Structure 1
Amino acid sequence: MTLKEHYEKHVIPAMKEQFGYKNNLAVPRIVKAMLNVGISASQKDPKVKETIKDTIRTISGQEPVERSAKKSISSFKIRKGQIVGMLVTLRGKRMYDFLDKLLHLTFPRMRDFRGLRKTMVDAHGNLTIGFREAVAFPEIKAGDLERQHGLEVTVVVGGAKGREEGVALLKLMGFPFTEK
């Protein structure tokens, strides 16, 4: 059973019962998943940028978009228009495939992973997970990367009225939250 089928058959009825929704369309849902990598000033080397781009492309199956600085900040040694990160937004089938891989392959591969904290979910129900190393993903081999870099995954929940509903949805979808 795919994650989308699981959502339609199990999560929607459980959320309707728990929060009293009268309509299936009123139930919160996962809208998109975003992968973000920041490129620090120390990584100005074009080879490093290309490595990061290849890593994101391999993990997501989609070409990343380069994000540039909106304004200059001298203390961070950043100029307006300078590339400061790369971003991929996944929706639809690609999003569900990525989340399935995240839940069933990536989390079990992580060292010392004990679950997600509820504080990782913001006031709108969105979950943000930071990875120190991209090696946690099964497509990336430890020896392939010259320089380790982290990345951030944000799961955007639409329709949640607060943190409690977002956590409930993500728990029912299979995200491993700790009880603390």
Structure 2
Amino acid sequence: MSQLLQEYRERIVPALQKKLNITNVHAVPALKKIVVSMGVGSSIQDSKHLEEAVANLTQLSGQKPKITQARKSVAQFRLREGMQIGAMVTLRRGRMYEFAERLIRLALPRVRDFRGLNPKAFDGNGNYSLGLNEQLVFPEINADAVQHVQGMNITFVTSAKTNEEGRELLRELGLPLREQ
């Protein structure tokens, strides 16, 4: 069991019950899933960029990513409908908590000039999205083997009903949100 999951069950749930004034344990906000995606627009010219992104995403998440395809054709980008332009992975349960723990405790502190995450990146339903400029902030990625630095989007999907509930959950989990 992940330390973050154990901490969530033992410390965070009672703390959120008290803060949010919730009596039912099952009504306390929780993480449902984490979606990690990499858009690889340069794969139009060279498919090796996509292969490298898939390998990195597999190494980060511990499961095989889904290849995403273009929905529309855009002539200016030489993009046709159905071309492979990215990869994504949806993490749930144990892998989700392990990834969140590595992101919060190892990867985010390695980001250069890091002053905290934007507290306004919530979607109105308690879900939070953030972007990283390079995959090299994760210690499991070998920087010498990476030929193309690639960014990624990470979305925390929660069971919170409002942004405030989601914000409290993510703060308790340890996500370093800047003060507003």
State whether TM-score is above 0.5. yes
Letter in 2 for 1:31: K
**Structure 1, unaligned stretches of length 5 or more?**
none
1:15-64, Cα deviation, whole Å (9 max, x unpaired): 11122212111111001111100011565312111111111111111111
| Structure 1 contact 133–149 (Cα < 8 Å) conserved | yes
**Structure 2, unaligned stretches of length 5 or more?**
none
Higher mean alpha-carbon deviation, 40-49 vs 62-71, is at 40-49
Work out the number of aligned pairs and report it: 179
| CA-CA distance at 1:7 after TM superposition | 1.1
TM-score, structure 2 as length reference: 0.93
Q: Establish whether residue 175 from structure 1 lines up as the match of residue 175 from structure 2.
A: yes
Q: Establish whether residue 122 from structure 1 lines up as the match of residue 123 from structure 2.
A: yes
RMSD: 1.5
Show the counterpart of 1:164: 164
**1:149 aligned counterpart, secondary structure:** coil
Identity %: 37
Cα distance in 2 for partners of 1:43, 1:152 equals 20
Residues 1:72 and 1:43: Cα distance change in structure 2 (over 3 Å): closer
After superposition, residues 25-36 of structure 1 pair within 5 angstroms as 25-36=26-37
Q: Establish whether residue 134 from structure 1 lines up as the match of residue 111 from structure 2.
A: no
Letter in 2 for 1:57: T
**1:89 aligned counterpart, secondary structure:** strand
Cα distance in 1 for partners of 2:57, 2:131 equals 14
Show the counterpart of 1:77: 78
Letter in 2 for 1:145: V
